[in-house]
Amino acid sequence: MRILGIDVGERTLGLALSDPAGILASPLQTIRRTSGAKDLAALEQVIAEHEVGEIVVGLPLNMNGSRGPQAQKAEAFAKLLRERFQVPVQLWDERLSTVAAERAMLEADLSRRKRKRAIDQVAAAFFLQGFLEARGRKEEAR
């Protein structure tokens, strides 16, 4: 079962995907948002194609842990996904994932253009990796 990470933005959805064992997250693609119906149709295709069994939506909390307008939008999007798809949908704190993604791409010496195209999916991979590692630690503790 693969896990899909979604970084929800105003104009894009950054997608990352776990390996089948749920150990490693990798950037997948960026979907340019057009309409709610088309966004969901694109996600439906990704879910079917990659046999996704769970979705993790990035929750952009404020640095003090409070929920601002963007976090509320992410929560509403997660609710929509729960209603539309027959897979569990989790929310995961994505604070600083975009900063970490940008730093990693700068260190890899990617051009500004390549960074702009990949930032959302790389950020999704960062927070999905955090989710996978936390889940692994939880399972090890059992």
Q: Which pLDDT tens digit goes with each residue over 87-135?
A: 999 999 887 666 666 777 677 766 777 766 777 888 899 899 999 998 8
Contacts of 131 (CB under 8 A, 6+ apart): 3, 5, 25, 56, 90, 92
Domains, the chain, in order of start with CATH, read 2-141 (3.30.420.140)
**pLDDT higher than 70, residue 138:** no
3-state DSSP assignment of residue 116: helix
Give the pLDDT score at 66.
82
Sort strands 2-8 and 52-59 into parallel, antiparallel or unpaired: parallel
Average pLDDT over every residue of 24-33:
95
Q: How confident is the model at residue 69 (pLDDT cuts 50, 70, 90)?
A: confident
Asked if residues 19 and 2 have their Cβ atoms less than 8 Å apart, the reply is yes
Single pTM value for the model: 0.86
User: Looking at per-residue confidence, does 50 or 94 come out higher?
Assistant: 50
What is the number of other CB atoms lying within 10 angstroms of the CB of residue 68? 10
Q: How far apart are CA 133 and CA 111, in angstroms?
A: 30
**pLDDT higher than 70, residue 81:** yes
**pLDDT higher than 80, residue 33:** yes
- What's the whole-number average pLDDT of the chain? 88
Give the pLDDT score at 136.
78
Point out the least confidently predicted range of 18-22, 44-48, 105-109.
Answer: 105-109
Q: How far apart are CA 105 and CA 102, in angstroms?
A: 5
Q: How far apart are CA 52 and CA 45, in angstroms?
A: 10
**Which runs of consecutive H residues, i.e. helices, occur in the chain?**
36-49, 69-84, 97-107, 112-141
